[in-house]
Amino acid sequence: MKDISVLIGGRAGDGINSAGAVVAWLFSRLGYYVFVSTDYPSLIRGGHNFTMVRAADHPVGAYNDRFDYLVALNQETLDLHAPHCPDCIIVANADQVKKPGSGQTISVGEILKEESAPPVTGNSAMIGAFAKAAGIPWKTLEEVFTAHMPKAADENLRVARRAYGAVNTVRPVPVLGKAPLSLITGNEAIGLGLASGGLDSYIAYPMTPSSTLLHYLAGNAERLGITVFHPESEIAVILAGIGSAVAGKKTAVGTSGGGFCLMTEGLSFAGMAEVPLAILVSQRTGPSTGLPTYTGQADLRFVLHAGQGEFPRIVVAPADAGEAYVWSDAALRLAWKYQVPSIVLSDKSLSESTYSLRYEDLALLSIGERGTAGDNDVPYRRYRTTLSGVSPLAFPGTTGAVVKTNSYAHDEDGITTEDAALVAEMADKRRRKETALIEELAHLPCVSTGGKTDAPVALLCWGSVGNACSEVAAELGLRVIRPLVLSPFPDRQFTDACTGVERLIAVEENATGQLASLVKEHGGRADATVLKYDGRPFTPEELKLRVQEVLAS
Amino acid sequence: MTRNLITPAQNTWCPGCGNFSIQHTLKDILAGMENEGRSLDNVVLVSGIGCHAKIADYLNISTVYTLHGRTIPVATGLKLANPELTVICCAGDGDAYAEGLDHLIFAAKRNIDLTMIVHNNRVYGLTTGQYTPTSPLGFKGKSTPTGTAEYPFNPLELMLAGGATYVARGYTRKMPQLAALIRQGIAHKGFAFIDVLQICASFFNMTEYYQSRVYDLAGHDPADFDQACKKAREWDYNRDAPIALGVFYEKGYPAFNDRFPLKKAMTAEERQQQIHDLFVAAT
């Protein structure tokens, strides 16, 4: 199996992200599956940033502890990472590095001077040096630079060429020769999935790690025909989202845990008023401000229970960009079909990492639309009781329809009531929607089962941790059970997935085993937990050791 | 088709409540719009939470009965989605000036095209009598039995500073003028703000006080911002002074939707093609 890892490090502001992206494009052109993840502190300039590019001949969604190549833009990168990769191939910027050890260096400053090139092209020198050390054909660099920086390809190529000629090939990477795949981040996939689901408007306030979805949709608003709006706060975000949906536009909002705190009153409003709305919640390390740029999975219980009162909600937790695309499409469609809020629960690892995928391989789930109000709905009653609990939907502006949306307990017309029987009847109506939703979800793949699917020992996980679990399960011969839908909990599918399981080990990036406790609530039982909550995702190596410890106990 | 503009919902406002005047004024305005041949299907009334908000139940038009302080963001979402809608917000003074203050200032900043009617009785009624941001210094309410220790906001001054393009004050016992102010606010392209002095019959009955001090702004040029500020400061909701009613300020200015047009809707096929192309561009 081909499996190559590259670490590129430097200061924040050095363009580590874009350098990583170019390295990813290089591997992709050579026919590799790529996974790119970034580690950066919460500041704009200075500090230590690094990007990890993993390239393999099979899909990957986690980064390793070990590296094969180390691209050091400064001394700190060498000091921090070189001790952990004794047999790394190192290329370093001679201007910033005093002791390159066994590595090769180039002077970026000298190259820029000789080529009269601007500082912004400096990383192209480092990429040129890395490519030569890794034996990547020059033609591949030309292709990547031309495709992805069309305006400045020549200048960057001149700089890269100088560095390419200045170092030796030490450890050539095999050329796989397969067609390159699309490189898409989790948040981009969520944006494209929402767009596919019919998104009209995206409303959000900046908050890492959800912001890149705001940026992506704003940047592609014209192309996708989506209105993107950034208001004054997350409170305004969700309420404007509700207003937009009430007016008939398919709307999504996005945030992280802190912003979602502010959204909870609006979430509960959407639950009572039966307003369809999709919400991205991308988790980072908490509580409170926590670690803004690091990952975690500690908001599961929060999103399941956020908001006062009881109302149905959909919560989906994809593991990678492909699932993020498919389930974001589904989350928006299901929200509208059942007039409930739906939450796409992501995390920093998924939202900001890049994955290889192919559009043609992404099979969207089949979710029909429920018809809007028609001639039989005169006079229009916003909350007309039906067998399914789902009322015909009309929007203000519809001829002859008085559409009354209400946050209070209300009657079928949307007029406030405190009548005991009516209040209970409308609560029952909302619960019937959940029953109908559960019936629909029974036909969708709500639980992913992977690894050795008949193994008696299974790893239980959710979200992005599923990728590391898959790798470990493959090595150790374990099963992986991963609910993709967490609300309403897919009891039946989960029970089926657990058939023959003698030992269930929950793997989560939180301190309390939130999925393990949810499973317990639903009649299951996790026999052990493997938890991590330092803001860093599990690497397959670390997870393997931790799981082996449990297996040995 | 002329509709009955009042729903069968039982009205639970206290006898003598200023809300009745606002409801009837709005009802008359809506009836007038219908008589002029305008459809009421495109009118949406957005209310917050509090006594004022029950107006959503009582008027037989499309409504969004929102949350405390949240009329503006919901109304902004409605206008964002459908600029053709005529959006009228009814909010309380506690509602708009306390929990909803940030949204209110942003509505002014954005010049979003809606009409904001603040039912300003200067007390929390439904929660049985606590001070609000416009209660006078020393107001003795249930949460401040020895009197408040803070000065009230002057909402007109706040809105002028915020960039509102229509700033007016009405009074529930001057219904014809109130109707004119609201009509003009609805006709105004942009954020129309109307602070409506009303009494709370149960917790803060200011009838006598207002009756002896209100006067109509006459000979005032609403295009003159400095003059508007001066007039707005004449009575600061605290000290004893004449209380001007009328339009303090109005200026023509592009509304939010003029500068923030909706994206053109595309068919599912066109959309899917664009998504495909974005995937391909990422190879």
pLDDT in tens, B190-208: 999 999 999 999 999 999 9
Measured between alpha carbons, how far is A100 from A92 in angstroms, rounded to an integer?
Answer: 7
Amino acid, res. A494:
F
CA distance to partner chain B, nearest, from residue A359 (Å): 6
Residue B267, class by beta-carbon neighbours within 10 Å (0-12 exposed, 13-18 middle, 19+ buried)?
Answer: exposed
Residue among B3, B43, B77 whose CB faces A247 most closely: B77
DSSP B98: I
Residue among A223, A232, A269 whose CB faces B274 most closely: A223
Task: List A residues 22-51 in contact with B (Cβ-Cβ < 8 A).
Answer: 28
Rounded to 5 degrees, what are φ and ψ at A225? 70, 40
User: Hey, is the C-beta of A157 within 8 angstroms of any chain B C-beta?
Assistant: no
Which pLDDT belongs to residue B14?
96
Measured between alpha carbons, how far is A308 from A286 in angstroms, rounded to an integer?
Answer: 22
Q: How many CA atoms lie within 13 A of A548 on its CB side?
A: 9
Task: Name the residue in chain B with its Cα closest to that of A402.
Answer: B62
User: Hey, is the C-beta of A180 within 8 angstroms of any chain B C-beta?
Assistant: yes
Which pLDDT belongs to residue A448?
98
Mutate to test the interface with B, among A185, A359, A395, A403 (most CBs of B within 10 A): A359
CA distance to partner chain A, nearest, from residue B182 (Å): 21
User: Hey, is the C-beta of A413 within 8 angstroms of any chain B C-beta?
Assistant: yes
**Considering just the CA atoms, what is the radius of gyration of chain B in Å?**
20
E-assigned strand segments in A496-551: 503-508, 528-531
Task: Name the residue in chain B with its Cα closest to that of A144.
Answer: B283
Beta-carbon separation of A195 and B271 below 8 A: yes
Residues of B in contact with A192 (CB under 8 A): 275, 278-279
Give residue A463's Cα distance to chain centre. 8
Residue among B62, B102, B260 whose CB faces A232 most closely: B102
DSSP B166: E
Give the pLDDT confidence of B148-183 residue by residue, as tens digits.
999 999 999 999 999 999 999 999 999 999 999 999
CA distance to partner chain A, nearest, from residue B272 (Å): 6
Measured between alpha carbons, how far is A78 from A135 in angstroms, rounded to an integer?
Answer: 22
Residues of A in contact with B104 (CB under 8 A): none
First to last CA, chain A: 31
Measured between alpha carbons, how far is B218 from B166 in angstroms, rounded to an integer?
Answer: 17
Give the pLDDT confidence of A333-392 residue by residue, as tens digits.
999 999 999 999 999 999 999 999 999 999 999 997 777 777 778 899 999 999 999 999
Mean pLDDT to the nearest integer, A276-283: 98
User: Hey, is the C-beta of B66 within 8 angstroms of any chain A C-beta?
Assistant: yes
Give the pLDDT confidence of A467-523 residue by residue, as tens digits.
999 999 999 999 999 999 999 999 999 999 999 999 999 999 999 999 999 999 999
Mean pLDDT to the nearest integer, A191-199: 98
Residue owning tokens 């297996």: A551
**How does A50-79 read in b/e, with b if 16+ C-beta sit within 10 Å?**
bbbbbbbeebbbbbbeebbbbbbbbebbbe
Beta-carbon separation of A244 and B77 below 8 A: yes
B140 — alpha (psi -120 to 50), left (phi > 0) or beta? beta
User: Hey, is the C-beta of A406 within 8 angstroms of any chain B C-beta?
Assistant: yes
Which of B106, B67, B61, B109 lies closest to B88 in space, CA to CA?
A: B61
Residue owning tokens 């009837």: B24
Measured between alpha carbons, how far is A350 from A296 in angstroms, rounded to an integer?
Answer: 11
First to last CA, chain B: 58
The Cβ of residue B234 has, within 10 Å, a number of other Cβ atoms equal to: 15
Q: Which two tokens stand for residue A376?
A: 């039989």
In percent, the amount of chain A with pLDDT more than 70 equals: 100
Q: In what order do the strands lie in the sheet with B86-92?
A: A404-406, B62-65, B43-47, B86-92, B114-120, B191-197, B166-171, B243-250, B214-216
User: Hey, is the C-beta of A201 within 8 angstroms of any chain B C-beta?
Assistant: yes
Helical segments of chain B, H only: 19-35, 55-58, 71-81, 93-94, 101-110, 155-162, 175-187, 207-211, 225-234, 256-259, 268-281
Measured between alpha carbons, how far is B276 from B280 in angstroms, rounded to an integer?
Answer: 6
Neighbouring-strand partners of residue A481: A449, A460
Structural contact between residues B14 and B54, judged by C-beta atoms closer than 8 angstroms:
no
Residues of B in contact with A240 (CB under 8 A): 73-74, 76-77, 80
Which pLDDT belongs to residue A52?
97
DSSP A393: P
Mean pLDDT to the nearest integer, B37-47: 97
Give the pLDDT confidence of B225-259 residue by residue, as tens digits.
999 999 999 999 999 999 999 999 999 999 999 99
Give the pLDDT confidence of A416-448 residue by residue, as tens digits.
999 999 999 999 999 999 999 999 999 999 999
Structural contact between residues A164 and A128, judged by C-beta atoms closer than 8 angstroms:
yes
Residue among A180, A196, A249 whose CB faces B272 most closely: A196
Which pLDDT belongs to residue A373?
76
CA A477 vs CA A167, A241, A451, A452, A460: distances in Å? 43, 46, 7, 6, 14
Structural contact between residues B231 and B220, judged by C-beta atoms closer than 8 angstroms:
yes
**Considering just the CA atoms, what is the radius of gyration of chain A in Å?**
25
Beta-carbon separation of B283 and A183 below 8 A: yes
Mean pLDDT to the nearest integer, A517-545: 97
Structural contact between residues A265 and A237, judged by C-beta atoms closer than 8 angstroms:
no
User: Hey, is the C-beta of B4 within 8 angstroms of any chain A C-beta?
Assistant: no
Residue owning tokens 């399941």: A304
ipTM exceeding 0.90, yes/no: yes
Residues of A in contact with B114 (CB under 8 A): none
Give the pLDDT confidence of A67-99 residue by residue, as tens digits.
999 999 999 999 999 998 889 999 999 999 987
Mutate to test the interface with A, among B65, B273, B280 (most CBs of A within 10 A): B65
pTM metric for this prediction: 0.97
Task: List B residues 236-275 in contact with A (Cβ-Cβ < 8 A).
Answer: 260, 262-266, 268, 270-272, 274-275
Q: Residue A102's pLDDT band (boundaries 50, 70, 90)? A: confident
Mean pLDDT to the nearest integer, A218-227: 97
Beta-carbon separation of A243 and B268 below 8 A: no
Task: Name the residue in chain A with its Cα closest to that of B44.
Answer: A396
Mean pLDDT to the nearest integer, B87-96: 98
pLDDT for A150 beyond 90: no
User: Hey, is the C-beta of B126 within 8 angstroms of any chain A C-beta?
Assistant: no
Structural contact between residues A279 and B76, judged by C-beta atoms closer than 8 angstroms:
no
Which pLDDT belongs to residue A491?
98
Which pLDDT belongs to residue A375?
73
Task: Name the residue in chain B with its Cα closest to that of A143.
Answer: B283
Residues of A in contact with B47 (CB under 8 A): none
Beta-carbon separation of B65 and A408 below 8 A: yes
Measured between alpha carbons, how far is B270 from B131 in angstroms, rounded to an integer?
Answer: 55
Mean pLDDT to the nearest integer, A150-157: 91
Q: DSSP letter string over B6-52?
A: B-SPPP-PPTT-THHHHHHHHHHHHHHHHHTT--GGGEEEEE-SSGG
Helical segments of A183-255, H only: 186-196, 211-219, 221-224, 234-246
Q: Is A404 helix (H, G, I), strand (E, B) or coil?
A: strand
The enclosing H or E element of A436 equals helix A420-441
The mean of the pLDDT values for chain B is 97
Task: Name the residue in chain A with its Cα closest to that of B266.
Answer: A225
Mutate to test the interface with A, among B52, B74, B114 (most CBs of A within 10 A): B74
Query: Packing angle between helix B268-281 and helix A186-196, nearest 10 degrees?
Result: 160
User: Hey, is the C-beta of B161 within 8 angstroms of any chain A C-beta?
Assistant: no
Q: Which two tokens stand for residue A394?
A: 């009309």
Residues of B in contact with A224 (CB under 8 A): 266, 271, 274-275, 278
Task: Name the residue in chain A with its Cα closest to that of B265.
Answer: A225
Beta-carbon separation of A184 and B279 below 8 A: yes
Q: How many CA atoms lie within 13 A of B253 on its CB side?
A: 18
Which pLDDT belongs to residue B2?
64
Q: In what order do the strands lie in the sheet with A528-531?
A: A447-451, A479-483, A457-460, A503-508, A528-531
Task: Name the residue in chain A with its Cα closest to that of B85.
Answer: A397
CA distance to partner chain A, nearest, from residue B275 (Å): 6
Q: Which two tokens stand for residue B124?
A: 């929390």
Give the pLDDT confidence of A229-273 residue by residue, as tens digits.
999 999 999 999 999 999 999 999 999 999 999 999 999 999 999
Measured between alpha carbons, how far is B55 from B89 in angstroms, rounded to an integer?
Answer: 11
Task: List A residues 217-236 in contact with B (Cβ-Cβ < 8 A).
Answer: 220-227, 229, 231-233, 235-236
pLDDT for A460 beyond 60: yes
Beta-carbon separation of A414 and B44 below 8 A: no
In percent, the amount of chain A with pLDDT more than 90 equals: 93
Which pLDDT belongs to residue A314?
98
Beta-carbon separation of B67 and A407 below 8 A: yes
Beta-carbon separation of A192 and B76 below 8 A: no
